[in-house]
Amino acid sequence: MRHLSAGLCSLILALFPAQDTTEEGHPRVRPVAGQVVVWRASSDKIEDLKEAAAVPPSDRLGSRAGTPARLLIEPDLFVTLRGIKATATEGLAVARSGKKIVLKIYRGSVLVENVETELELETAHGRISGRGISVLVDVTKDAMRVVAIDGRLTFLNELGRVELSGGETSTASAGKAPSAPRPTVPEREAGWVKDLDAPANIITNGGFEQGTSAWRTYVYWNGKSVLNSDPQVARGGKKSARVDLPGVQFGPKTGGSSATLDQQQANVLSPGVKYFLRFWVRSQNLRVGDKDASVRVLVGSGLAQTYQGTFTGDAPPCEGEWRCGRFFFTAEHADLRLTFSVAVDADAPVDGTFWIDDVFLAPVPR
């Protein structure tokens, strides 16, 4: 076994740049959910990963009995594992190449989502690369399957190359190029991941399956609320939150508020702690004046004159498609106010519609 482990270590070190074998170059990995374990090449033993630790390329990450588990590769790369066991011949290998994180898996399923870090994922059948993406990869001895959940990524091997966007899938096997992209339903493909999200989610009714319960709007136009539950359009489940803005001009006519979708909770955050926010958004003909508009998310505390902002971010372009907004922020207040609105930088009317679904907020383990 030790002779085999040494051979595999040599193989991994050949795949990853030499400068990444130093202690300073090892990515730091934090367990987030489930039972994350690591096989240490230095001791040929498996140990529980209970806190953040440096993981060299010769080690292997996995979970107890291959059950679903999640880890964070600092600074912003979440990896959810299923069917991945940490052994000398299997598991997940991690390395850093400059500013890029490189993953290698041998068998099992991983769902990877990143915010800014450039990602490369390798298997025996092909390689994936991208930034700001969410992707599901299933690997067996003979083949691999890629499901692009969000963003745009490249999937290639020695025989060919394809570009995938959210909602597309491709496969590759020994001696074959990646197949042409075909449509799929990513929320169904990755439905098993929700079991890890639910216990940690601070947001009440984040999937809007109870309509707009726990949410409210502060914007009314011509006496009508701009917020409604939509049973016809949903990213996951059967409903989403729909915000209609028929020529709305934020200001005195809306009571000075632009909070079209809002949730408040008291004493649910810990000041100084880092949090991860994820949501899905879709728009239709959303414009401010004669310009395309984006959906804006705000995190803060308090109302009106007492409002204190912590974070503001703009969702990716989402005209006619579901896109994922992912953000990290550090809490400054114990109370939470989460608001979705439209990025308005001019005194112009806002037209169009946007939808929000599957809102998730949880602390990042220290």
Per-residue pLDDT reduced to its tens digit, 274-305: 999 999 999 999 999 888 999 999 999 887 66
For the cut 90, the answer to whether the pLDDT of residue 127 exceeds it is yes
At residue 228, the pLDDT reads 96
Quick one: pLDDT at residue 346?
64
pLDDT digits (tens, 9 = 90+) for 221-267: 888 899 999 999 999 899 999 999 998 888 766 766 788 999 999 99
Residues 13 and 124 in one domain: yes
153-207 pLDDT, tens digit per residue, is 999 999 999 999 999 999 999 899 999 999 999 989 998 898 899 999 999 999 9
Torsion angles phi and psi, residue 96, rounded to 5: -115, 135
pLDDT at 17: 41
Residues 61 and 177 reside in one and the same domain: yes
Given a contact cutoff of 8 angstroms between Cβ atoms, the answer to whether 135 and 147 are in contact is yes
Question: Domain tally for the chain?
Answer: 2
- Output the CA–CA distances (angstroms, integers) from residue 130 to 54, 95, 114, in the order listed: 23, 16, 9
Q: Are residues 80 and 226 in the same domain?
A: no
Is residue 196 classed as helix, strand or coil in its secondary structure?
A: helix
Domain boundary at 142, 176, 193, which?
193
Question: Three-state DSSP class for 181?
Answer: coil
Give yes or no for residue 12 having a pLDDT over 60.
Answer: no
Q: What is the pLDDT of residues 316-366, one digit of tens each?
A: 999 999 999 999 999 999 999 999 999 876 678 899 999 999 999 999 987
Domain that holds residue 282: 201-363
Instruction: Tell me: do 161 and 86 sit in the same domain.
Output: yes
* Calpha distance 309→307 (Å, rounded): 6
Stated pTM of the model: 0.88
In a shared domain, residues 297 and 334:
yes
Name beta bridge partners: 145: 138, 171
**What DSSP character marks residue 364?**
P
- Pick the closest to residue 17 from 133, 137, 120 (CA basis): 120
Pair of tokens at residue 81: 């594992």
Asked if residue 312 and residue 182 are part of one domain, the reply reads no
Q: Is the domain of 181 the same as that of 87?
A: yes
**Cα 166 vs. chain centroid, distance in angstroms?**
13
Q: Give the CATH number of the domain where residue 58 resides.
A: 2.60.120.1440
